[in-house]
Structure 1
Amino acid sequence: MLMLRAAPMSYAKVDKVDAEEARHWKAQFLIHKALETGPTRRPPAAAEFARAGGCRVVRAVRIGIRLKRLRIAVRSFRLRVCRSVLKHLKNLRRLGSPRS
């Protein structure tokens, strides 16, 4: 709770500040300060791993990402091929069936 001691028509002097209010003010200040300074740039994680000797880990991650993309590409290619084959079969059935 905020205990104020003030004379009429003057500024209030804070005698004692509640711990919860103090934490809130400090948090507000830190948020304002962070927003004011803007985003900070961090060095890329790959450079840190290479410096620390964990280059193999980075390569494995890159290879994993490439394999995942390759799997997605193969799946989409397979779907396109299946659709086109089914479309051709459908057209052949129409041509082969006698119409009355």
Structure 2
Amino acid sequence: MALVLRKPNAYSKIDKEDPEERNRRRAQFLIYKVMEQADSMSRRRPSYLRIRIRKLKVKIGKRLTKLRKSMLLSISAAKVSVCKQVCSQFKTCRRLFGGGDNHSSANLVNTLPSPLFV
């Protein structure tokens, strides 16, 4: 009642709303809105342009997927070939600098003196 005294044109609710009634009214409103949207969607037909664009997107997506897979395959093949070349170069370098000859290291083990204490 204090609000009524402060503002001459204001009015107050005398009795409060029932929460169940408020929920029922809100549910009816939401149902009405959903039905209205469904009705407006059923009237609209998908345009020819939208169908064409959707098909084009699918086509582009398939091509991109195919391109990505082929790129990954070619990149992995390139990695393998580069690794083979690098390994062969390392083997060549080891042989040149004396670290790659297995027979000479085996002979070295055979020429070591026998242990003193057995």
Higher relative contact order (CA 8 A, sep 6+): 1
- Name the larger-Rg structure: 2
More strand by share: 1
More helix by share: 2
Q: Which TM-score applies when normalising by structure 2?
A: 0.44
